[in-house]
Amino acid sequence: MTAALVFAGGMLGAPVRYLIDRAVTARFAAGLPWGTATVNIVGSALLGGLIGASTGSALSAFVAVGFCGALTTFSTFGYETVRLVTEGAYAYALGNVVISVAASLAAVYAAATLTQWLCA
């Protein structure tokens, strides 16, 4: 049953990732890969919210492993950062790393803290 929930969450997370990436990329100027940063930050916040709520339920398998696993993408983050470096856009590459990592960590922490407070 858990594997089916992970599978179903992944089936939803992957297209949501694609749609968010396309929408953000179309709205913002090139330079930084804002679409990938957005899905990683949003996914981090969702996962943080689940951590704060301390749910070990089937919902966690569906949302945390399935949906967030398919929504977020470390491999694309890595590829886009290396691409920026190979194009000589060192400031953008550094900015991508700093913004993506710092914002994703802040999102996890903030969401976990908020849901712990709300569920207490």
Binding-site sequence positions for Na(+): 69, 72
Annotated binding-site ranges: 69, 72
Q: Which of 76, 96, 60 is nearest to 17 (CA)?
A: 76
Q: Which of 30, 36, 38 is nearest to 74 (CA)?
A: 36
H/E segment holding residue 69 = helix 68-71
Residues 17/71, Cβ–Cβ less than 8 Å: yes
